[in-house]
Structure 1
Amino acid sequence: MAKTKITYTVQFIQDQISNKSLIVGARLPSVRQLATQLNYSISTVVEAYARLVAEGILESRKGSGYYVLGKIEPTLNTETPIQYQREIDPLWISRQSLEANKDTLKPGCGWLPSHWMPEQTIRKALKQAAKSERIFLTDYSKPNGHNELRQYIARKKELYNLKINLNQILITDSATQSIDLIFRNVLKAGDVILIDDPCYFNFRALIQAHGLKAVAIPFTEHGPDLAIFEQALNLQPKIYLTNSAIHNPTGAIVSLQTIYQISKLAEKFNFLIIEDDIFADFETTSAPRYAALTGFKQVIQIGSFTKTLSAAVRCGYIISEVQRIDALIDLRIATNFSHSHLNAEIIYQALIDSSYPKYLDGLKKHLLKTMNDTIRKLAELEIHPWIIPTAGIFLWCKLPDGIHATDLSKLCLKYDVILAPGNSFSQAENAGQFMRFNVAQCIDQKVFDVLALALSALKNIEIGKEDD
């Protein structure tokens, strides 16, 4: 991004301090003098001086001018080297992906490449939000959160035959915060919770952080294995946590019959279903939802706008019965007081912009092509999808015989390619034979070149062991 006149002025002064043209205690030119020297406006120089005062580089002496307070110390490089040998745990993928430099490829992460995101829509929304009423810029939000955003969510849910009162919706700062609030409200350490196997790795991390007992139910191409699910109810679980619509990591869609059976069990055995609807905007056709079939007596639905709009402007939501939402509001006030009202306003302005639906249409077409390309290129490496998803960004793939996902991930990481090994999503015995690929992050041929190189190296190691 091009420098503004203000940032240029700030840099000009910092350079003069660094090269000793201005020493500690030296008086700077007056605002008018520097403005004339640089051919900038007086207001530009005033703002530059003010920023340097705020940073502790200059001090303002009333009636005297601006003085150098201290020299600029060089920034220390505190970046931690990548830990290639770190144990593959539920947070391994997130840590590696978030800490990666801009040249690192991330086919294992769970988000779109930044250049795929609707940057101009967000920039426009930022400008609109800046013009909002003072309350959005300075005050705490109302307990339920941004009113217009809740109205937007309620209208969107009508597409799934859900009629929702606005008081049933709570705006949060993210889907992860939503789950954390629900866990705090409903569960205590030692309680049993059902999850899919495999499931989103951060579900497992949250469960571990809350000291809960997770029971993993094998996930089939139609949803959780019903026979094993029913057996697990003898453990008296309080919650079943799952993805609705597009499942993470498999990309599967739960059948209507399975949703019906699970919903009946929830009612009979009195456990809650938390359905994470975070991938809704990737759908090409609407999949069945637990909430649509059974209502919100046994279901809590959560979501966010991170995947298709912005991960930088965090905003999520919870939908449930009014009484449960009230309890969650009390807990949110006690632990976090409020949510980011400004973030919610930015998200709302982006969602109602005419460019957003067009962006989504183009995104879905782009993903379909990328999905097919990725499947073809992985097949050349003897890596095949468990199922072929109808939409979304994920492929859950079986690796070639004799290749373990952990070994492959650590080797590829040395070549700046971050993968998502199956044992981050599952504790099943065969989890190490699987890998989750984000097709949107597989557009660079280097991903497949590094995979080919790493697979060849690992196969040679296996052959060497056999020869021994």
Structure 2
Amino acid sequence: MNALPLHINAGTGVPLTEQIVSQIEALIRSRRVLAGAKLPSIRQLAAEQRISRFPVIEAYDRLASRGLIQPKHGSGFYVANHVDERDSHASNCDPRLAEEESNQILQQFNYPGETLKLSSGFIPEAWRDVDGLTQAIRQASRIDVPSVIDYAIPHGDTTLRQQVVMRINALGIDADLPNVMITNGASQALDLVVRYMLKPGDTVFVEDPGYYNLFGLLKLQGVRLVGVPRLANGPDIDVAEELLKLHQPKLFFVNTVFQNPTATNIAPQVAFKLLQLATQHGFTIVEDDIYADFQAVPTQRLASLDQLDRVIYVGGLSKTLSSSLRIGYLAANRELVKNLVDVKVLTSLGGTRFAESVAASLLERGTYRKYLERLRKRVRDSLSSAVQTLEGYGWDVFDEPSGGNFVWAKVPGIDDSAVLVDEAVKFGVTLAPGSYYRPNGEACPWVRINSAYAGDRCAARFFEHMTEAATARA
């Protein structure tokens, strides 16, 4: 057969075997490679990708064990005639899949002496209020000694929950203490929702592009992902309506403000229509508002329109205050919160009382509010500078970012950002390919740029090089 449209990159940190398996599986399940088709031989595929035969051998073995391909003695490997959909759920729960998804997350961590993580999801340490944090930590150690050794209550620290209630009330969400629970970061909030509300084989809608950690979590639970294109004003409602004729999603996961990775906000008319569809088709919306605190003047939230009827609202402090404290929260109707707290008790007993005590102190004393004012200015300035830099080098920016610290950008003439990933390594820069942000890992020309690092000299040299390379190709 002709060469498979694979994009294998040894520099991403993801094992070559995992890359081959996931990409061939996606081709088979999307019917881009049809049943009965002959696959390239092990030697041919290894030569095409310029890699050793060993990862190809292991990848073909895994695909055969999943029932996706069939080896025929003396003839080669062929796509199976019948791909059982149940196999997709089983493979999604494969721990090897979890390893692949986690590798995508690990690449954004930066350590001394390593490359510039240009796609990182974190703000720099120098931008954090380290002095305010350490002072609050010392205070909690002195006046709340039990917090150093005891579990937090399952719902979370009462003072912290009161602070969260005030914060979401300010967004127009009519909530009280029984509507709110504290979680170990927003990730745990999403995990609790998935554990309680979904089972293997269920279908959910997600944004395309969207949050890859969520995609991995859903796949790990054997949940079907259906991507809805993300436009500059929110999910593409027209496409969502067409997809609802074919699917019955249990949940729709949406980033309302400074969406990851496009940095766009949902428009009021889109929010209204989305809630109408939720009512008509009986699905629940999970509103991931983790970047809320980067926004100085609040815009429309789904939860403020719906008042926690068909919306579960998720937020947190990790993106701004401290990733180490792992403070997230969830707001929903009282009965659902009660049930989710039960799941939390079964899976983790409780939160970290000390972290919750520190966070409560920072919010209650106004330290966090003053810090946010400084942080928003730094983020706003770096975002403006990053957009100006990228556009100056001829890159395309996905709409004008409305805030946050991400820029979703591409180089004109380059259809697959895997090319950018390969070239970035030459300049001491690590990028995550745009395919990471798509539900099924499809090729994508876009990449996520963290504006905080876009001014680095290594990044500037890389931006310029890619523009010159694209011009030379044209």
- Report the TM-score when normalising by structure 1: 0.77
Alignment of 1:4-403 (within 5 A): 83=13, 86=16, 87=19, 91-98=102-109, 100-234=111-245, 235-402=247-414
Following superposition, the deviation at residue 105 of structure 1 comes to 1.5
Q: Kindly provide the amino acid, as one letter, of the partner of residue 147 in structure 1.
A: T
- How far apart in 2 are the matches of 1:97 and 1:153? 28
Q: Which moved more, 1:432-441 or 1:89-98?
A: 89-98
SS in structure 1 at match of 2:116: coil
- Are 1:245 and 1:286, in contact at CA under 8 Å, matched by a contact in 2? no
SS in structure 2 at match of 1:379: helix
Alignment of 1:387-466 (within 5 A): 387-402=399-414, 404-426=416-438, 431-453=443-465, 456=468, 462=473
CA change 1:431–1:385 in 2 (3 A) is farther
Matched residues, number: 382
Q: Which moved more, 1:95-104 or 1:197-206?
A: 95-104
- Are 1:242 and 1:275, in contact at CA under 8 Å, matched by a contact in 2? yes
Following superposition, the deviation at residue 177 of structure 1 comes to 1.0
Per-residue CA distance 1:389-423 (angstroms, 9 max, x = gap): 22111111122203631121133135331223211
Where does structure 2 lack aligned partners over 5 or more consecutive residues?
A: 1-10, 24-99
The corresponding residue for 1:63 is none
Per-residue CA distance 1:66-125 (angstroms, 9 max, x = gap): xxxxxxxxxxxxxxx973875497545422222643453122011101111111111111
* RMSD value, Cα: 2.3
- How far apart in 2 are the matches of 1:131 and 1:97? 35
CA change 1:239–1:259 in 2 (3 A) is same
- Are 2:108 and 2:121, in contact at CA under 8 Å, matched by a contact in 1? no
- How far apart in 1 are the matches of 2:255 and 2:143? 35
Q: Kindly provide the amino acid, as one letter, of the partner of residue 371 in structure 1.
A: L
Q: Kindly provide the amino acid, as one letter, of the partner of residue 83 in structure 1.
A: G
- How far apart in 2 are the matches of 1:365 and 1:140? 37
- Report the TM-score when normalising by structure 2: 0.76
- Are 1:84 and 1:413, in contact at CA under 8 Å, matched by a contact in 2? no
Following superposition, the deviation at residue 337 of structure 1 comes to 1.1
- Are 1:143 and 1:338, in contact at CA under 8 Å, matched by a contact in 2? yes
The corresponding residue for 1:51 is none
SS in structure 2 at match of 1:171: strand
Where does structure 1 lack aligned partners over 5 or more consecutive residues?
A: 1-80, 464-468
CA change 1:429–1:175 in 2 (3 A) is closer
Q: Kindly provide the amino acid, as one letter, of the partner of residue 221 in structure 2.
A: H
Per-residue CA distance 1:25-66 (angstroms, 9 max, x = gap): xxxxxxxxxxxxxxxxxxxxxxxxxxxxxxxxxxxxxxxxxx
CA change 1:139–1:325 in 2 (3 A) is same
Following superposition, the deviation at residue 163 of structure 1 comes to 2.1
SS in structure 2 at match of 1:172: strand
- How far apart in 2 are the matches of 1:263 and 1:212? 22
Identity %: 27
